[in-house]
Amino acid sequence: MIRKTMAVAAVAVAAVATAGAAHARDQIRIVGSSTVYPFSTAVAEQFGKAGKFKTPVVESTGTGGGMRLFCSGVGDGFPDITNASRRITASEFETCTKNGVTAITEVVIGFDGIVFINAKSGPKFTLTRAQMYKATAKDVPVGGKLVANPYKSWSDVDPSLPKEPILVYGPAPNHGTRDAYVELVLDPACEAQPEIKALDKDARKKACQTVREDGAWVEVSENYTVIQQKITSNPAAVGVITFSYLDQNADKVQAAPVDGVVATYDNIASNKYPVSRPLFFYIKKQHVGMVPGIKEYVAEFTSDKAWGKEGYLSEKGLIASPDAVRKDQATNAKTLGDLKM
């Protein structure tokens, strides 16, 4: 469900004929990742305060939903920018191309980590990716065979874990965080199992990437605040969420170390934390000049006052890229470099 959470005026569509073409909206429209949403919203608000352009409309649709909207076509009925907590896929790029979205700029905005949290009033967890795989995969190896997940409590997975029922609130497939959970947690832990190595590619993918459907894993398609609300009301439940949300709610929730590494700004920035990933936004170059302010919005986002180590996005939980990477990405954003797949 697309959730419009930014209190701004409805998109104004001004049809101004110029050189045989219609001028489009006078307000930037941005869709995509719930993880990137708070950062994009903060930039939109700063951008709007300058007074030269209207405040962009930012929608939290999830990475997959944002890509579908972004790649649906060119013109004032389609978004100008989409945020993503993973890179655009080859199939999404192909869809864009088929629908005439043939000029795209990719910008890496920084990093975030996936954290496993529960309420501060609940038990303390210390987890490994292998334990999370065993707790949340639909089928797991037991006694040399792949069987329906039999684990009911965390202590069934490992005696060192709390004797609490397994209940994990995790992102639905429309979120890029779900893709990252599969890529960074489920796949590596699953593929290390001898029983999985014996399967063919398709069977291996199905076995490794399918989560439980027996109530132990509960999918959340809305914004991540819903996950936080769920675990606050059930202190033994675990939420799969992003570091930026943890950082903003550290007074209410606690995060489990993963593979012995605590999720901190420095550990994610240095890639020591094992469940971290880059964040992106994508610009529809064909809308630059058609919708006013796109280049200026991008310039605001890629300025050090915004995405720098001491920028205002750091207060929202964004983990800045290294200086050299930020410099390269800022140049790419300014020149609207073409996306290379």
Question: pLDDT digits over 30-84, tens only?
Answer: 999 988 999 999 999 999 999 999 999 999 999 999 999 999 999 999 999 999 9
Indicate the burial class of 309 (C-beta count within 10 angstroms; 0-12, 13-18, 19 or more). middle
The predicted pLDDT at position 5 comes to 40
Return d(Cα 227, Cα 81) in angstroms, integer.
26
CB 203 within 8 A of CB 209: no
Q: Which residues of the chain have pLDDT under 70?
A: 1-24
Question: pTM of the full predicted structure?
Answer: 0.77
Asked if 83 and 36 count as a contact pair (C-beta separation under 8 A), the reply is: yes
pLDDT, residue 159, reads 97
Nearest to 182 by CA among 203, 147, 211: 211
C-beta separation of 275 from 260 below 8 A: no
DSSP H or E segment with residue 209: helix 201-209
Q: What domains does the chain contain, in order, with CATH numbers?
A: 3-112+277-335 (3.40.190.10), 113-276 (3.40.190.10)
Contact 152, 161 (CB under 8 A): no
Find, among 238, 258, 279, 285, the residue nearest to 83 by Cα: 279
| Tens-place pLDDT, residues 295-332 | 999 999 999 999 999 999 998 889 999 999 999 999 99
**Nearest Cα to 105, choosing from 75, 85, 86, 80?**
80
